[in-house]
Amino acid sequence: MQTEDLKQSINRIEQCADEAKRAVQVGSAPDELRRTVETLHQQARQAQQSANAQQQMGQDGLKQQVMQLEQTGDQAVQACRTAGNVDPQTQQAVQRAHDEISSLKKQIQMG
């Protein structure tokens, strides 16, 4: 995967995480979901910073960060399901972030 494509994907993930964070702050989300989305947001920001300074980190480090992002994204989606009464905007934002992460992971694994 080309460095520029990787940066663009991570930027999209970070934007989705921002969106999810805003949705959680505005909506009536349970604490578990708030914490998970906050973690996702922090990890996405770190991945973005790492991608911008990729020479120091290398592909393996970025792959590791994407794996962590995916785990947190899975937790956020699960927290939405468990809560049951999460507003649609929050659910969509969390799902979009998760989808972007999954897409990037697949691209990285394919080389």
| 61-105 per-position pLDDT tens digit | 778 888 899 999 999 999 989 887 888 888 899 999 999 999 988
**Residue type (1 letter), 53:** A
Please indicate, yes or no, if residue 67 is contained in any of the structural domains: yes
Cβ neighbors of 47 (< 8 A, separation 6 or more) are: 10, 13, 14, 62, 65, 66, 69
CATH code, 101: 1.20.120
Look at residue 25 and tell me whether its pLDDT is greater than 80: yes
Please indicate, yes or no, if residue 105 is contained in any of the structural domains: yes
- In the chain, the number of structural domains is 1
Per-residue model confidence (pLDDT) at position 2: 72
**Residue type (1 letter), 56:** Q
What is the rounded average pLDDT of the residues 29-43?
92
| 47-70 per-position pLDDT tens digit | 888 877 765 556 677 788 888 999
The token duo for 52 is 């911008």
Per-residue model confidence (pLDDT) at position 35: 94
Please indicate, yes or no, if residue 58 is contained in any of the structural domains: no
